[in-house]
Amino acid sequence: MSSIRLAIVGLGKIARDQHLQAIEATDGIDLVAVASRNAKLDGVHCFPDIDALLAADVEVDAVSLCTPPQGRFEQARAALLAGKHVMLEKPPGATIAEVFALDQLARQQGVSLFATWHSREAAAVEPARQMLADRTVRSLHVEWKEDVRHWHPGQDWIWEPGGLGVFDPGINALSIVTRIMPESFHLVASNLSFPANRAAPIAADLEFMTASGVKLTAAFDWRQTGPQTWDIRVETDRGSIVLTHGGSRLFVDGEAQIVEEDREYRNLYRHFVSLVTSGQSDTDFSPLVHVADAFMLGRRHEVEAFED
């Protein structure tokens, strides 16, 4: 098929930081339109919202939704009903039920739906997955700590219901763990820390267990200043495997094996082109399921009020 004509909905920080450059670097896809309430982009058709985009006489094959998860269901539904292929920024939605409804609708419409997990595209993730397939995992610990003021300045939606709070970055770690672990796991304990003036957690401590009894733990925190931490440490019967820098670096028994630059979003768009071309979808919602479980089982602890 000819190059995919793409529209971005939501021209905010993540679109400008990651999506625009990745699209430009990807063969087989061209950005032709943008829908955004508060921003425009030179050289493409610009609309105030997705309804105006879909009603316009502009040829669009696919839509990449870069908006906050709250309200994204209606946008994705409109695009799918219009026969457009849809790419969802993470998290894929605000609830479990709505993302499964989108999956079913995409199948009914015969178009591709791609629930993206950019951290799975980090350089060390697939090599770590292959190594763990031949080893016995004895324990796994995630430490994912960063400064919300740096990464999400003024973004109030992340503190509202459906915005996920600290799970907005934490789900990146869960997307990696669900990819590299050779067996499934389930949540057994969740301790969530909520600022007194917010509806979403600023920190979370989780404990999981596999069917064979392996313990997995995760510590997420949005209050870290200075160097940021995005590490996953796995102890196995044949030594340690550690992913750092969000999965872009791999250490085996303390020795560096992979140190790569960020290609995550370029990989996502290459995969999206492949999905659309082959008429397939990619809708693994397991990281969001684990986050939902954390809220369901979570013991709530109130901490100091947070001011951005």
Q: How far is CA 227 from CA 204, 245, 296, 306, in A?
A: 19, 11, 31, 20
Closest CA to 93 of 74, 80, 119, 112: 74
What is the distance in angstroms between the CA of the first residue and the CA of the last residue of the chain?
47
- DSSP tag of 140: E
Query: Is position 90 annotated as part of the catalytic site?
Result: yes
> Can you state the angle between helices 167-180 and 286-297, rounded to 10 degrees?
120
Q: How many helices (H) and strands (E) does the chain have?
A: 10, 15
Residue 24 has phi, psi (to 5 degrees) of -60, -30
Please identify which of the residues 13, 40, 84, 90 carries the catalytic annotation. 90
Active site residues: 90
